[in-house]
Amino acid sequence: MKKIFLSIVCLIIVVFVSAQQFIDKATIEYEVKTNVKKKFGDSPWFEQIKDNMPTFRTQYYNYTFADNKSIYKLSKPDEKARIPDFMDDSNEANEYYADYGTGMLQVKKMVIGSPFYIKDSLRAIEWKLVNENMSIAGFNCKKAVGKIFDSVYVFVYYSEEIPVSGGPCSISGLPGVIMAMTIPRLFTSWVATKVMVNDVNVATIKPEGNKKPQPYSEFRKFLLDRTKDWGDGDDGEFKHFKEQFLWSVQL
């Protein structure tokens, strides 16, 4: 009887360990949904074109990680909800490479058709953990709240079952991968739809090459200089668009 009991215990342990396999590399697909009309506000200039704009835009991005490094980039654009290039602050050519071992982030950003290359430390975010849980794409997730750009709140659900400290765009710093994210002031949400652990193409995990990348401080200075006259003389009706643009391109 004792041998039977020990056999059952061993079987339970084997099943438990198998169910908790360490995921050291995978590709996570995110559905990224933006309320375009709310994002660009109700200013008079936008009222003139909003009837020709989609209400929502849904895109799909892949986050591939291995060896404590990751790459995040577009996998499928929304061909039915195109918006003018000058308003497209989530350009399809953007790429984010992160090395969590060295704490380094390298980003390729397209801003109104021009490429910018950024190399800097991973974004420092002070996270507040919340006692709330939910299941996303089959993984147990915990809630956390952070703040970027001094006043923009980020709400996320992360999973310690996938122990990589990253997620969409430049958002990171939690004890597990971000499986869902919402930034209300950008009217955008990111939700993991599936986690693919087979045939992971680790060769794609590399930064976009450039000999002279700039830090985020220089990129931010350039953006503020180029947009300093946006909205002058319109009594603030352009302010909403300017804020959205600056937050999005720095994300």
Higher pLDDT, 171 or 36: 171
Strand pairing partners for 18?
A: none
Rounded CA-CA distance 68/96 in Å is 14
Contacts of 211 (CB under 8 A, 6+ apart): none
Q: What is the pLDDT of residues 180-211, one digit of tens each?
A: 999 999 999 999 999 999 999 999 999 987 77
Buried b (16+ CB within 10 A) or exposed e, 217-247: eebbeebeeebeeebeeeeebbebbebbbbb
Q: What is the pLDDT of residues 207-224, one digit of tens each?
A: 987 778 999 999 999 999
Rounded CA-CA distance 117/217 in Å is 12
Chain CA centroid to CA 73, Å: 9
**Given strand 114-121, what is the order of strands in its sheet?**
114-121, 104-111, 95-99, 69-76, 56-66, 25-35, 188-196, 177-183, 152-159, 139-148, 128-136
Fold of 18-250: outer membrane lipoprotein receptor (LolB), chain A (2.50.20)
Q: What is the pLDDT of residues 59-72, one digit of tens each?
A: 999 999 999 999 99
Q: What is the pLDDT of residues 127-161, one digit of tens each?
A: 999 999 999 999 999 999 999 999 999 999 999 99
Q: What is the pLDDT of residues 3-40, one digit of tens each?
A: 544 444 344 333 333 344 578 899 999 999 998 878 77
Residue 208: what pLDDT? 84
How open is the CA angle 222-227-230, to the nearest 5 degrees? 175
Mean pLDDT (the chain, rounded): 84
